[in-house]
Amino acid sequence: MSRVLITLVATLMLSLSVLVNAQNVSREEIRGLDEQIQDVKKDVISLTSELNRLEEKLLFPSNTQVALFVSLPNSQEFSLESVEVKLNNQVVAHHLYTYREIEALQQGGVQRIHTANVQTGAHPLEVTYFGKSKSGKEYRATATHSVEKAVGPKFVEIQVAGNQSAINFKDW
Amino acid sequence: MLPRLACAIAGVTLSALTSLHSVSVQANVPVDPGALHAGDLNDLFFGEALFNAYQDNHVDAIAALDTELKQHRLLDDPELDPFSVHFGQAEFAVGDLELSYRMHREAGRAMEQVLQGNVAQPIKNEAAYRLAKIHYQKQQFANALHALELIQGRVPERVRPQEQFLRARVYMQLGRFEEAVALLEDLRGEKSLQGFVEYNLGIALLKAGETEKGVLVLDGLGRKAGSGNAKQALQDKTNLLLGNQLMKAEEYDRARSYFDRVQLSGPFSDQALLGAGWVEANAGRYDRALVPWQMLKERRSTDAAVHEAMLAVPYAYGKLDVHSTAAVNYGQALDLFGEQVDVLSHSITSIREGKLLEALRRKEASQVKNWVVELRKLPGAPETHYLLGLMASNDYQEFLRNYQDLNNLFERNQDWLQSLDAFEEIIALRRSYYEPILPGLDVAFRQVDARIKMRLEQRQRLAARIDNLLVNRRPELLAKSDETEARLILEQVREILAYNPNLTSEETEDRIARLEGVLKFRLSREFDDRLTTAYKNLQELDGVIATLQETYQRYVRTRQAATHSYEGYTDQITSLRGGLNRAQDRIDQLMAQQGRMLEQLAVHELDQRRAQLESYQIKARFALADSYDRANELQEQREDERKVEAYQRQVEQLQNAQPQSSEPAVNPDGEALPTDNPPELEAPESDSGEGGNDA
């Protein structure tokens, strides 16, 4: 029996060393591949940057662009469930938030919820949100704002003050 | 024999665990919030980049920040840009994100740029710390130390404990344990690193030769590392480490107490149960060794510890001379090993058919926690429980993530290629709409433009005249049309009279003079009012002209936008499509290489496990046969003993029945020889008697 176990341990040790050797042999290959992957990532990021700019220029030229952003200032205790946005009395966005999105908003991230093309002038904006506090209490509120579109691009931040059932708008 | 054997096993287990520990501890260290914090937001786009970064959408976050940084650098007055508040933060954030996205080289370059730049020493210190972190992650420990040595003075308070902790781990990796101990002692009590400092301190002390102190530190951590799954796992890991360490030192009773502390439901429980059994077996208490081993035997049939327990249980039974039970257990072990060899063979085939890579490319891979483990539930997928050990290694994790990153990039590029097609369609539609109407519009616009210019010139003339009237009072210039007409008629009448003097009379002269006087009087009297009215009219005209000019500008912008909506994209789209296609080719090749590497390693791992199980099978078969032999021998021996006892009883009975009839023969060996025949050779007296009676 003892011999059986000795052989067993020897096999185990041998197999471990084989694995280490197998990995050591290809270490240079691994490094080379890793560097190539880093290069391609860099290239794709650069392409993405350029493609984003092209898309914006083509689809949302600055003279007609309106972008709407959602933020949760000081709302660590509040969990945003959904937001509906009406621009010019049309529903343009209805977003249900994932857990990761809620966390990102709570940490100070800002979500671009909608980008539109509008003529210069005033455009009615109506925002409705639904959410819950940590204790499970439900909150909802609706607020309106007039988006004054001028020649340049227009950015509006929709600040959801969850636990106060309030929405503030900030023109950028 | 057995203690040496157990120590060898413990040694192997310990070394494997130690390497696993160092990996896990590094992986579990709380993430440095670093530059990725929102604070007071002054730029929506920076906030959007953070939103992506917090969700691990690295490509979007890095691309957005890169764009912001590039645009900011191109500004004439960058300080007027609200992004300037976040500029430094964004530079570090890009480095952090690149690091998270496994772009170590780029992150390293970014930090080196900061180090060579003309920036304040605290910023350089933070950059040096981050550079060291990159080198450490790449297992370039000497470079990491070199980067840390670039730090002069104090690092920012925010990263100070992390910097010191990193320095200590670098020292440990370089074998400078005394220095590591000094740093870690200083860090004890740091809340953000609670548990991790103690663990590393314990290891450093053990490696520095201060075994008792090391055990003491680890003992404290093993009693209470803190709440939460991660801390609980750290506590279990510590106890397991101590148990193995003490078993190696042949302090079995102490070792057993540490194995007992490990949670039965935790990730280290299998190793702890195995260790607890070996401790008892080493101490010769095989019956007690069976308790943890029997428990372990019932656990997941893919675990190496369970396989070992499958052999250890019958081994212990054998030691307890219960060979029949040992044989039954060896039989069970053989059944299990056979099943698992089949599972492994099927898994290897499945991997070779590309099922593993196919599963890794699925969307669930980024959405389901522990996807690699979960994918075993897919039909035809390999048994990934066997790959858990391999997957715990840094290299394999990096390969997996790289493979998934490449797959995401490939899909993302595919989407962009489709978008480019859509863009071209949009451009073609715009061109087909605008090109026919724009020439006509341009002609009409030129006509309107000429009229606008004429009217603007008229307005200028009127304005100049009104300005002139303020200085030179000329009421006739503000006469109405009927008044001008009357004035002209009077002038004409005067010309006629001058030409025909015979028509002139005093009365006519008086009448003409009166009429001229009335006209001049009216113009003179109403001059101020008329001038005011004219000025107001000019102002009204200015309002109309402003509207006209606004409409004009709007038209010009719209006209330009119409051209810009379809002109000038062709080259850019062609270039981007070329870039995307080239990237796709490279990604495809790299995915194939990375995938092959993942498959090779997985197959290698499974192959080894299969070879190990096959070796176990052989051993178990021999041991099974051995157990049967021993069980038979024992059975025969017991049978013989029973017979001997029976003979002895019969001898005693005979002796009692015929006391002191004769002296028994003496065996040369010194043992008493049987004096009577075996019972089966003797005719049953009672039977014959009874038979005789019957007869």
Residue A64 has pLDDT above 50, yes or no: yes
Which of A44, A69, A120 is opposite residue B583, by nearest beta carbon? A44
Shortest alpha-carbon distance between residue A137 and chain B (Å): 25
Residue B376 has pLDDT above 80, yes or no: no
- Per-domain residue ranges for chain A? 2-59, 65-171
Average pLDDT rounded to a whole number, residues B145-153: 87
Give the three-state DSSP class for A138.
strand
The residue in chain B having the minimum alpha-carbon distance to the alpha carbon of residue A106 is B51
Residue B10 has pLDDT above 80, yes or no: no
Residue A2 has pLDDT above 70, yes or no: no
pLDDT tens across B271-283, in order?
A: 999 999 999 999 8
| Position with higher pLDDT, B441 vs A7 | B441
Pick the closest to residue B654 from B631, B674, B683, B625 (CA basis): B674
Q: pLDDT at position B12, please?
A: 32
The mean predicted confidence, pLDDT, of chain B is 82
Q: Is A49 on the interface with B (CB under 8 A)?
A: yes
Pick the closest to residue B475 from B412, B428, B531 (CA basis): B531
Q: Decide if A34 and B2 are in contact by the 8 Å CB cutoff.
A: no
Q: What is the DSSP letter of B191?
A: G
Helices A27-59 and B394-471, packing angle to 10 deg: 30
Q: Decide if A54 and B572 are in contact by the 8 Å CB cutoff.
A: yes
Pick the closest to residue A108 from B87, B50, B95 (CA basis): B50
Residue B4 has pLDDT above 50, yes or no: no
- What Rg do the C-alpha atoms of chain B give, in angstroms? 50
Band (pLDDT 50/70/90 cuts) for residue B175 is: very high
Q: What is the 3-state secondary structure (H, E, C) of B261-308?
A: HCCCCCCCHHHHHHHHHHHHHHCCCHHHHHHHHHHHHCCCCCCHHHHH
- Per-domain residue ranges for chain B? 422-570
Band (pLDDT 50/70/90 cuts) for residue B17 is: very low
CA angle B386, B392, B393 (to 5 degrees): 115
Band (pLDDT 50/70/90 cuts) for residue B323 is: confident
Residue B1 has pLDDT above 60, yes or no: no
Do B114 and B134 contact (CB within 8 A), yes or no? no
Which residue in this structure is represented by tokens 């997957």?
B391
Q: Where are the beta strands (DSSP E) in A33-172?
A: 65-71, 78-87, 90-96, 111-117, 121-133, 138-149, 154-161, 166-171
Q: What is the DSSP letter of B82?
A: G
Residue A4 has pLDDT above 60, yes or no: no
pTM of this prediction?
Answer: 0.73
Residue B246 has pLDDT above 80, yes or no: yes
Q: Which of A109-118, B362-371, B586-595, B596-605 has the lowest mean pLDDT?
A: B362-371
| Phi (first) and psi of residue A26, to 5 degrees | -95, 15
Pick the closest to residue A37 from B104, B397, B292 (CA basis): B104
Which residue in this structure is represented by tokens 């935790």?
B266
Long-range contacts of B416-422 (CB under 8 A, 24+ apart): B416/A47, B416/A48, B416/A51, B416/B576, B416/B580, B417/B577, B417/B580, B417/B581, B417/B584, B419/A51, B419/A55, B420/B573, B420/B576, B420/B577, B420/B580
Residue A12 has pLDDT above 80, yes or no: no
| Position with higher pLDDT, B234 vs A87 | A87
Q: Decide if B5 and A42 are in contact by the 8 Å CB cutoff.
A: no
Q: pLDDT at position A165, please?
A: 77
Q: Decide if B416 and A48 are in contact by the 8 Å CB cutoff.
A: yes
Q: What is the DSSP letter of B155?
A: P
Which residue in this structure is represented by tokens 């057995």?
B2
Band (pLDDT 50/70/90 cuts) for residue A38 is: very high
Residue B24 has pLDDT above 70, yes or no: no
Q: Decide if A19 and B573 are in contact by the 8 Å CB cutoff.
A: no
Q: Decide if B580 and A47 are in contact by the 8 Å CB cutoff.
A: yes
pLDDT tens across B184-238, in order?
A: 998 888 888 888 899 999 999 989 988 888 888 888 888 876 677 778 888 899 9
H helices within A26-168, ranges in order?
Answer: 27-59, 99-106
Task: Name the most confidently modeled range: B351-360, B486-495, B683-692.
Answer: B486-495
Do B586 and A88 contact (CB within 8 A), yes or no? no
Question: Which of B17, B42, B55 is the best mutation test for A, with the most CBs of A within 10 A?
Answer: B55
Band (pLDDT 50/70/90 cuts) for residue B558 is: confident
Band (pLDDT 50/70/90 cuts) for residue B637 is: confident
Distance CA B669, CA B211 (A): 58
Q: pLDDT at position A75, please?
A: 65
Q: pLDDT at position B18, please?
A: 35
Residue A17 has pLDDT above 60, yes or no: no
ipTM score: 0.86
Half-sphere exposure of B240 (CA within 13 A, CB side): 28
Cα dihedral B27, B28, B31, B32 sign: negative
Q: pLDDT at position B39, please?
A: 59
Question: Which of A58, A115, A117 is the best mutation test for B, with the most CBs of B within 10 A?
Answer: A58
Residue B609 has pLDDT above 70, yes or no: yes
For residue B356, CA distances in Å to B81, B380, B408 come to: 49, 9, 17
Q: Decide if A63 and B561 are in contact by the 8 Å CB cutoff.
A: yes
| Phi (first) and psi of residue B302, to 5 degrees | -100, -5
Which of A46, A51, A58 is opposite residue B416, by nearest beta carbon? A51
Q: Decide if A110 and B66 are in contact by the 8 Å CB cutoff.
A: no
Do B309 and B293 contact (CB within 8 A), yes or no? yes
CA angle B391, B394, B399 (to 5 degrees): 70
Average pLDDT rounded to a whole number, residues B606-626: 91
The residue in chain B having the minimum alpha-carbon distance to the alpha carbon of residue A154 is B44
DSSP A4-57: HHHHHHHHHHHHHHHHHHHHHHTHHHHHHHHHHHHHHHHHHHHHHHHHHHHHHH
Phi-psi label, residue B673: left if phi above 0, alpha if psi -120 to 50, beta otherwise:
beta
Q: Which two tokens mark A48?
A: 């993405």
Q: pLDDT at position A148, please?
A: 94
Shortest alpha-carbon distance between residue A139 and chain B (Å): 23
Q: Is B590 on the interface with A (CB under 8 A)?
A: yes
pLDDT tens across B51-79, in order?
A: 999 998 899 999 998 888 888 888 888 77
Average pLDDT rounded to a whole number, residues A25-33: 74
Q: Which residues in chain B touch residue A19, judged by CB atoms under 8 angstroms apart?
A: 604-605, 608
DSSP B572-589: HHHHHHHHHHHHHHHHHH
Band (pLDDT 50/70/90 cuts) for residue B125 is: confident
* CATH number given to A65-171: 2.60.40
Residue B436 has pLDDT above 50, yes or no: yes
Q: Which two tokens mark B614?
A: 């096959």
Amino acid at B79: E
Which residue in this structure is represented by tokens 């997996």?
B400
Which residue in this structure is represented by tokens 């690295």?
B58
Q: pLDDT at position B366, please?
A: 67
Q: pLDDT at position B618, please?
A: 92
Q: pLDDT at position B25, please?
A: 36
Give the three-state DSSP class for B3.
helix
Q: Decide if B63 and A1 are in contact by the 8 Å CB cutoff.
A: no
